[in-house]
Amino acid sequence: MFDSAMPALESATPALCRLQLSNELRRLRLRAGRKGSEVCRALTWPPSKLTRLETGENGTVEPADVIALCQIYDATPTERDTLIGYAKVTKTKKDWWQVQGIRDVISPTFKAFLGLEATAEELENYESEYVPGLLQTDAYVRAIYEQAHTGLAAEQIEKQVSVRITRQDVLHRETGALKYTAIVNEAVLRRKVGSAQVMKEQLLHMADLASSKPNVKIQVVPFTLGVHPGMNGAFAVLKFKAVALKPIVYLENLASAGVSRREDDVKRYRDAFSDLQALAPGYKESLSMIYAASKEF
């Protein structure tokens, strides 16, 4: 049975439609008792095609592909028509990161993450090295790309800055603003990115968001805490309003990036985040740490 939280077509975004499609197509396949390899053989598809459909990685979804899958899965007419409608939205509307001139600087995996982030109700994020992307200033972003991505043309850098700043709109929506909880290692506050002025403005920006936006909460893991559950690296846990959409984990490093929907992976990272929340100083004390670090710059 379809989730009642599925959006109306007139208000649905392509990102949400792709996410709903991926979730429902996988659910229908499992209900029908069909293996992915079996479905691909029946449709003479490469396995990667079905994988992309079930993970929401395709920028657009062909209605004909949805029809073919619904036939194999014995979907009801209502299920089929609804999913075809969502596929059509992905063909007729564009998310901001799909606009020409921007999409060429965003990797496919990060586009998939942007779609998840844009439709999530809540995001829990641990960062060990950089200020989290949703909290960065344009000068901080620019400094990262100038210092850590040498050889990148100025035009490309400005596009990356534009992507990062536009992405932050999820925190400022008039309705349904993303509930964002960030936990950062103290090193994030101390590591100089750009000039001292860039760092001071960046830390004050974080403090301002944490103190003025009820949907933004920040904690800092101090060096004195010693060993902690976040030492294996940064991660993000995304939670969705729709009951049928379970939490997802996003992981990124130099070699790869991607999401995991496996329940044991999600539980591991959700537990790690909860442990970090309990171990780190509270919001007020963390805010004081941010202000103190800003004065050192």
Can 14-93 and 98-295 be said to share one CATH topology? Answer: no
pTM of the predicted model, to two decimals? 0.79
Does domain 98-295 bear CATH number 3.30.870?
yes
Query: How much is the pLDDT for 292?
Result: 97
Query: How much is the pLDDT for 245?
Result: 73
Query: How much is the pLDDT for 4?
Result: 44
Query: How much is the pLDDT for 221?
Result: 97
Question: What is the spatial distance between Cα 12 and Cα 156, in angstroms, rounded to a whole number?
Answer: 31
Query: How much is the pLDDT for 244?
Result: 63
Does domain 14-93 bear CATH number 1.10.260.40?
yes
Q: How do the domains of the chain map onto residue ranges?
A: 14-93, 98-295
Query: What residues in the chain have per-residue pLDDT under 50?
Result: 1, 4-5
